[in-house]
Amino acid sequence: MPRTFEELAKAQFVRAIKKVFPDPTPLIGDKWFRCHPDGKPADLEFAGVMKLAKATGSSPQKIAAMIVKYLALDKLRAEAHVTKGYRILLRRTSPKDEQK
């Protein structure tokens, strides 16, 4: 069972991609993810949108929007941002309970 933020986020990306491409689901490699321990520019970066767009013939805008739609950001306590290069950046947000 995934325990770290990176493992949880990767699992959420896999679930989201399986919802977007139910059959056959593309192989998702570790090279599609980049972890940034210092949190800059993000905690986790997903760089597979262009590869999925090329493989399926769909637009990268549509694929990125659909993946972000199916990410369980509330479970991850994170926010997603899509860059101009169609990379999806996840940044952790601090929960309200920890701010007190």
What residue ranges do the domains of the chain occupy?
20-94
Q: Which residues lie closer than 8 Å to 27 by C-beta, 6 or more apart? A: none
Q: What is the pTM of this model?
A: 0.82
In this predicted structure, which of 6-15, 44-53, 72-81, 88-97 has the lowest mean pLDDT?
A: 88-97
CA–CA dist 27, 14 (Å, integer)? 9
Residue 42 clears pLDDT 70, i.e. is over it: yes
Report, as an integer, the average pLDDT of 83-87: 93
